[in-house]
Amino acid sequence: MSLLQVDNLCVAYGGIQAVKGISLTVEEGELVTLIGANGAGKTTTLNTLGGLLAPVRGQIRYAGRDLAAIPAHDRVRHGLALVPEGRGIFARLSVGENLLMGAFHRKDKAVIRADLEKAYGLFPRLREREQQLAGTLSGGEQQMLAIGRALMSKPRLLLLDEPSMGLAPLMVEKIFAIIREINAEGVAILLIEQNARLALAAASRAYVMESGAITLSGPAAELAADERVRAAYLGH
């Protein structure tokens, strides 16, 4: 059984169907990417998996459970963490307070402290700014904080929405190196990313989404070599 199994998922905004019967899977410890143009339905898909939107129909199973019965705030307890587009940090809290918010559902204080140290090891810049208000961080630092906060929940599956958006090239490289490191430690990742080249290089499998439907899927390396994908998303 897949860690995440989505079958015939349909999501609508008012009368507009944004996601039109998609199916996808993520295996334990796998890094899968969902690429496509703006407006294809990628963020809608991730927000539905995170519990921020309700599907019109279809089924989402995570770790063998039907996600429809689990409210958004409770999905974190089950190891499903969403890093939303735009980061969603608490601007008026400090960096340290933001990270601890990621562990809001946990009671294991000693382990939380160890995980906080681990997050600072992964993101040394955050340790330097532990007492700083999160809203004063740069875009790249805020992205690090959003990912670090999600890791504090001890996720089994991390949903990442546009982690490189608005970042300078050097920061993008740094963020992707960290994403690969997180995945190498056994955390499964479903990644949405406008930079299709980077996403396909990092992932083991990929789905291409167009106008609310999945039009192509397969090993990421194969899709990176597909002429249709190269023409539409890789600039040649």
**Percentage with pLDDT > 70 across the chain:** 100
For residue 170, CA distances in Å to 79, 98, 179 come to 30, 24, 14
Please give the Cα distance from 165 to 43 (Å, whole number). 13
Q: What is the pTM of this model?
A: 0.94
207 in a domain, yes or no?
yes
Domain containing residue 170: 4-87+155-233
140 in a domain, yes or no?
no
- Quick one: average pLDDT of 47-68? 94
- The overall average pLDDT reported for the chain is 93
DSSP 141-202: HHHHHHHHHHHTT--SEEEEE-TTTT--HHHHHHHHHHHHHHHHTT-EEEEE-S-HHHHHHH
Angle between helices 109-122 and 139-151 (to 10 degrees): 150
Q: Are 115 and 151 in contact (CB under 8 A)?
A: yes
pLDDT in tens, 146-160: 999 999 999 999 999
55 in a domain, yes or no?
yes
148 in a domain, yes or no?
no
104 in a domain, yes or no?
no
CATH number for the domain that contains residue 64: 3.40.50.300
pLDDT in tens, 62-119: 999 999 889 988 999 999 999 988 778 999 999 999 999 999 888 899 999 999 999 9
100 in a domain, yes or no?
no
Lowest mean pLDDT among 125-134, 136-145, 187-196, 227-236: 227-236
- Quick one: average pLDDT of 212-232? 95
Confidence of residue 14 (pLDDT cuts 50, 70, 90): confident
- Quick one: average pLDDT of 173-178? 92
Q: How many domains does the chain have?
A: 1
Three-state secondary structure string covering 27-85: CCCCEEEEECCCCCCHHHHHHHHHCCCCCCEEEEEECCEEHHHCCHHHHCCCCEEEECC
41 in a domain, yes or no?
yes
Q: Are 151 and 103 in contact (CB under 8 A)?
A: no
68 in a domain, yes or no?
yes
- Taken in order 13, 18, 48, 101, the sign of the CA dihedral is negative
- Residue 93 confidence (pLDDT): 96
- Quick one: average pLDDT of 198-202? 96
